[in-house]
Structures are given as structure tokens and as C-alpha cells.
Amino acid sequence: MLNFDNILEVKNLNKCFDDLKVLKNVDFKLRRGEVTSIIGPSGSGKSTLIRCLNFLEEFEGEYLFNGKMIDKDTDLNKFRLNFGMVFQHFNLFPHLNVLENIIEAPVHVQGRNRSDCVNEAKILLDKVGMLDKLNSYPSELSGGQKQRVAIARSLAIKPKVLLFDEPTSALDPEMVEEVLHVIRNLKDKNTTMVIVSHEMSFVHEISDHIIFLEHGHFVESGSPNKIFKKPNSQRLQEFLKKVYIQ
């Protein structure tokens, strides 16, 4: 029986790059309105998993979204509009200013009215504290500012799920907090999110559910208190000793 509280569900996900199997028989569920964080050492498959969730990577396995099977007959370009993706290195278009970056997909991919999209973009930029940079180009922005614009751009397509792939790892430490503040505000609005991050204190604070991934396997999962205060596996205990300072 399907659980429609799960906005997406992946069963027996496997992903290979040539002869290297990077994800192995992964089962993943994402509940509507919740934040799921994926943690683990470098090379464990975290970024690959999050890219599989919106089909930026091909994979083997069963995938359901809102209870509907997604398969080879699905229009994947249209399906990906259910997801806003925030990348580690921002991926803003350098030749477009902040406003044009944000309205690019709503206008040219979704076919929405340009004037409406401009108005909505201004509202989003105000929410992330970037309205005064409306006409600036990416080269004129700091890393933290670029990432806040990238978040606004992801929200502009009105996605059902936001995916964050190491959103702060390319930032100077003093710029990290301004991006985390925006994500906290999204959490307060019950935005459904999947976050890959090495910011353990933030993961502990923001998450409803945490998954520890290593060598392409889900080693352990649970609530923040369970993962950080009562980890079962020795491997997770060793990992947290190295990366989590309370």
C-alpha cells in the first residue's frame, strides 16, 4: 500500500560509472514538508544520489513520485520541474544579471508570463536579501550572494522539492551563515528539502530525518537525536568523532 505522505520513494536504486558501483540497492523515502539530510565521508555517493533524485543521472531502480511510477515513458524534462536544484558551485549564467538568471527557466522553459515572473523574482530576491542586487552580474557578487541568488532561482520554478548539494562547501566560513539562514527560513515554511552537507551542526539543527551513507550503502538512518546522540553502528560513531564538534 502506497503512503502518500511520501512525496517520493525510490526502491532498489543502483548506479554505476563504468565498472564502479557507487550506489547499491538504495531505498529512499522523502516525506512531504520534511527535511532529509544525507551525510557521510567523501566518495560515499551522496552527490550521486541527490542527482539521481531528479534524473540528472541515469540509474536502475523503481521510482515513485506522488504515488505515480516514473519510468522511461516519462517526459523527464517536464518531470525535473518538480525539483529545484542548488549546486555547490552556484551554476549561475555569467552573461545574465541576477533578475534574468531567476526568470530564465520560468519564462523560457515553463512558458510563463514574463511580467509575472519578474514580479515574483523580486519577491524571492527580497526574501533572500538580494533585491538590491537585481541588476548585478554573478561576477560582481560574493560566494554567499551567488548562492542566495541560486536558491531564489530554484524557488522561481515553484518546485515541490528543493535539493541542496553541498550548498556551503564552496563558501568562505563568514559567508556560510547567510546561506544557512535562508535555508532555515525555508524550513519554517515547511519546504520539502533534501540536503547533502558536511555542516554537521546545521544538519543536526535543520533535519527531520538523517541518512548516513558510506560506499554506496545506507548504513544508518533516523532522527537527529538518534543519529548524533545514539548512533548504532561503529562506523557512524567513528565518522561523527571526526566531523562533529558539540
- The pLDDT score that the predictor gives to residue 89 is 82
Q: Is residue 108 part of a domain?
A: no
Could you report the per-residue pLDDT of 98-117, keeping only the tens digit for each? Answer: 999 999 999 999 999 999 99
The answer to whether residue 204 is domain-embedded is yes
Q: How many domains is the chain built from? A: 1
How crowded is the C-beta side of 146, counted as CA atoms within 13 Å? 21
* CATH classification of the domain holding 86: 3.40.50.300
Contacts of 27 (CB under 8 A, 6+ apart): 10, 11, 12, 13, 218
Domain holding 60, by residue range, is 6-93+160-243
Residue 206 lies in a domain: yes
**Domain assignment of residue 54, yes or no:** yes
In a domain, 134, yes or no: no
- Asked, for residue 173, whether it belongs to a domain, the answer is yes
Q: Global pTM?
A: 0.91
Does some domain include residue 72?
yes
Mean pLDDT of 238-244: 88
pLDDT per residue as tens digits for the range 63-100: 999 989 998 789 998 999 999 999 888 889 999 999 99
Considering the domain boundaries, does residue 62 fall inside one?
Answer: yes
